[in-house]
Amino acid sequence: MQLTRSVKHDPKQRLDEIIVKLRELNFRITPQRVAILRIFLNSQDHPSVEQVYAQVKADFPSTSLATVYKTVNLLKEVGEILEISFAGGGNRYDGIKPYPHPHLICTTCNKIMDSEIGLVDQIANELEQTSGYRIVSHQIEFFGTCPACQKK
């Protein structure tokens, strides 16, 4: 069960690839979709829908929040962004590493960091053996205080 895969992140190349993919799936390439996709591909900080909405409106003032939600769902369904959901506030998204991976979340400033843990696939394998579940995904989050917030 290989849940993760390594992807060298090149926003421009991925934008092109995803556009081709969407076209193949008979989705239309609208300026709104491209703008939202660009924002995801260039955000290191796991933005929320509201944050994407604010950004896209800067370039494209007529965009509606519903369109952002619809595009987010579309990109989720085609596997090009990862949804991170947890208690307290809305979901966050990762457009750079769209496959399941662990996160470190600062409960003070809400910053979300990627964290590499090599053991995840082994753990998933073990769990499959011992539990009989067929594991297809995971969500692993560690909560705490980031270095910056500790200095206060």
Query: Which residues bind to a second copy, rule: CB under 8 A?
Result: 83, 85-87, 91, 104, 106-107, 113, 115, 117, 119, 123-124, 126-128, 130-147, 150
* Residue with tokens 């979340």, as numbered in its chain: 105
From the list Mn ion, a second copy, Zn ion, none, partner contacted by residue 108 (C-beta under 5 to 8 A by kind): Zn ion
79 binds DNA (CB under 7 A): no
For residue 82, report the phi and psi dihedrals to the nearest 5 degrees: -110, 135
The CA–CA distances, whole Å, from 112 to 45, 49, 85, 86, 127 equal 6, 15, 12, 12, 27
d(CA 104, CA 148): 14
Only one of the segments 2-10, 34-42, 54-62, 91-99 lies at the binding site for Mn ion (rule: CB under 5 A); that segment is 91-99
Q: Do the Cβ atoms of 120 and 131 come closer than 8 Å?
A: no
Output the smallest distance, CB 148 to Zn ion, in A.
5
For residue 150, report the phi and psi dihedrals to the nearest 5 degrees: -70, -25
Nearer to Mn ion, 74 or 113 (CB): 113
107 binds DNA (CB under 7 A): no
From the list DNA, Zn ion, Mn ion, none, partner contacted by residue 114 (C-beta under 5 to 8 A by kind): Mn ion
Q: Do the Cβ atoms of 3 and 120 come closer than 8 Å?
A: yes
Identify residues 92-111 at the interface with Mn ion (CB under 5 A): 94
Q: Which residues make beta-bridge pairs with 114?
A: 103
80 binds Mn ion (CB under 5 A): no
Nearer to Mn ion, 80 or 94 (CB): 94
Interacting residues with Mn ion (CB under 5 A): 94, 114
